[in-house]
Structure 1
Amino acid sequence: MPSTVSDPPVTELLLVIVFQLGVCILFLAEVADAARGYETLSSLAGQLVGTATAVGGLALLFVRRRVR
């Protein structure tokens, strides 16, 4: 008997993982700022990369959900 519950596609799960990774990179950069007490170029780069990864993963996830 077939089930009525559908599993999400693997690509959507991978996009959620990419989003979570971006958020983690962003938070680690913020923790590095707080631990040092001042902002450096490496923490700024971490914030930019984390934000871009999180926003990009979330945008791709929404686009894929809209297309389906």
Structure 2
Amino acid sequence: MTDRYLSVDQVAELLGTTARFPRRLIEERRIRYVKVGRHVRIPESAIEEFVQARTVEPIRVRRGALRRVA
């Protein structure tokens, strides 16, 4: 297993958020984490899974499928 373990601050920087967001994800058990003594570490794969699960793909609409109503 070659997964890197990131601190809360590193995860926040990676996601472009404050440290409060990853802490909330941990508290609500919405993301996997590992406790190392009193420290909390988040595997990089857990971040990838979290982002992948919440990625919204664009809707592809055929031309002419949506018509304007006067």
Report if TM-score (shorter chain) is over 0.5.
no
Larger radius of gyration: 2
Higher helix share: 1
More relative contact order in 1 or in 2 (CA 8 Å, sep 6+)?
1
Higher strand share: 2
Using the size of structure 2 for normalisation, the TM-score is 0.30
